[in-house]
Amino acid sequence: METHLADFMRHTSAGREAEEILRRCVHCGFCNATCPTYQLLGDELDGPRGRIYLIKQVLEGVTPTEKTRLHLDRCLSCRSCESTCPSGVHYTRLLDIGREVVEQKVPRSGSDALKRRALKTLLPRAAVFGAAMKTGQAVRLLLPGVLRAMVPPLSSAGPAPKSRHARRLIALAGCAQPSMYPNINGAARRVLDRLGIQMIEAAGAGCCGAVRQHLNAAEGALDDARRNIDAWWPLLESGTEGLVMTASGCASHVLEYAHLLQDDPDYALKAARVVFATRDISEVVTAEAAGLAPLLQACRPLPEQQRLLAFHSPCSLQHGLKIRGTVESLLNAAGYTLTAVADSHICCGSAGTYSVLQPAISKLLLDNKLAALRAGGPALIASANVGCVAHMQGATDLPVKHWIEVLDARLSSLILT
């Protein structure tokens, strides 16, 4: 696509990147076919091709309006379009650049601005978010239905393994996960322990930065990345094997650190090393398949009525990390039969803070997703990202678990001789 960027963009690094991305797009529209918002709303401007065109216009100097901002706000950043695009257009990077410019030119006001400020302030701070979650959990049964759906019952991380191993991986505690679903990292710690790997957490690390990145607070997101790198660096330097992410959303964002910090002379090289050392938990467990197989063989058989499982692959896993089939194979090996799920490439509507900021579209996607997941009559739904787990669990009585919790529960049924 031919571009003529306006002076305010042309000589910036973001402008050069945007131009390169725009030039790859041939405007074919294949991406619209797999875009959840285009499918639901049927408006060209609520699909990737239309949004690319809107961003191009803004970067070329056309003044954006609130309507421009709304079409960009409605994007889930799910990256389904990137999986479909035959030209390799890095759409979400262009979206981030476009959103930042539009945000500056069309400032928000009223409740929209307030809501976003509150999310940016509260969510990435694990201690503040944790205190708020604890309060919510204490009065959970008194909360109105919509709020109650967002607050999972109080739970624990389960027993922590006592063994020490030479092989160590640094896990990210994250922001919302420890207070909402502490058992996810608890389960990861136990599974890795059985595989001879010790999972540790670095003091000082926190939110991966995805929350602020998606709320158009790019500088805040970079601060999150730098703070995490500072916390991880001494451990990486002292021989820790690498990093393991238990939320695919965090894995997907941490793998962007090298790109996001490429112009930062103090962090560019460190960020590249962090990216090189980072793996999603599904990759880590799959790499240990030889050690896992005998453990699974020693498990008690799954009761017949518990065998059917529906897996929801988060967008961050299948479109962001391009990991497909890996978790499914692990669940199969653990004795589960996976049900067929229609439109498995489509987002569940969680998408970071999307369910709070675009509740109507999010609810439609959630209803469609749960109907597709329930269709095969599963006893259990599994996913790979805390946001998806929380979003779906708030709207169904079927248990929704992170797949590592499912594997941990299976391994705890080992028949010890």
Q: For binding to ligand SF4 (CB under 6 A), which residues are involved?
A: 25-31, 35-37, 48-49, 51-52, 75-81, 85, 87, 89, 91-92
- Taking the complex as a whole, the smallest distance from the CB of residue 392 to ligand SF4 amounts, in Å, to 18
CB 219 within 8 A of CB 225: no
| CA separation for the pair 134, 151 (Å, rounded) | 9
* Beta carbon of residue 363, minimum distance to ligand SF4 (angstroms, whole number): 15
Q: Which is nearer to ligand SF4, 89 or 327 (CB)?
A: 89
Nearer to ligand SF4, 28 or 114 (CB): 28
Shortest Å, Cβ 347 to ligand SF4: 7
**Shortest Cβ 245–ligand SF4 spacing (Å):** 21
User: Which residue, 29 or 158, has its beta carbon nearer to ligand SF4?
Assistant: 29
Decide: 154 and 160 in contact? Cβ < 8 Å. Answer: no
* Nearest residue (CB) to ligand SF4, 78 versus 404: 78
Residue 330 C-beta: closest distance to ligand SF4, Å: 26
C-beta of 9: minimal distance to ligand SF4 in Å?
A: 19
- Give the largest CA-CA distance in the chain: 73
Say if residue 407 is exposed, middle or buried (CB neighbours under 10 Å; 0-12, 13-18, 19+). Answer: buried
Q: Please, which residue, 26 or 287, has the CB nearer to ligand SF4?
A: 26
Tell which residue, 104, 94, 108, has the closest CA to residue 8.
Answer: 104
Pick 188 or 365: Cβ nearer ligand SF4? 365
270 vs 312, which CB is nearer to ligand SF4?
312
**338/361 with CB nearer ligand SF4:** 361
CB of residue 74 vs ligand SF4: minimum separation in angstroms? Answer: 7
User: In the bound complex, what is the minimum distance in angstroms from residue 254's beta carbon to ligand SF4?
Assistant: 19
What minimum distance in Å lies between the beta carbon of 346 and ligand SF4?
A: 9
Q: In the complex with ligand SF4, which residue's Cβ is closer, 124 or 349?
A: 349
CA pair distance 394, 374, nearest whole angstrom: 15
**Contact partners, residue 198, CB within 8 Å, separation at least 6:** 161, 163, 164, 165, 167, 168, 169, 192
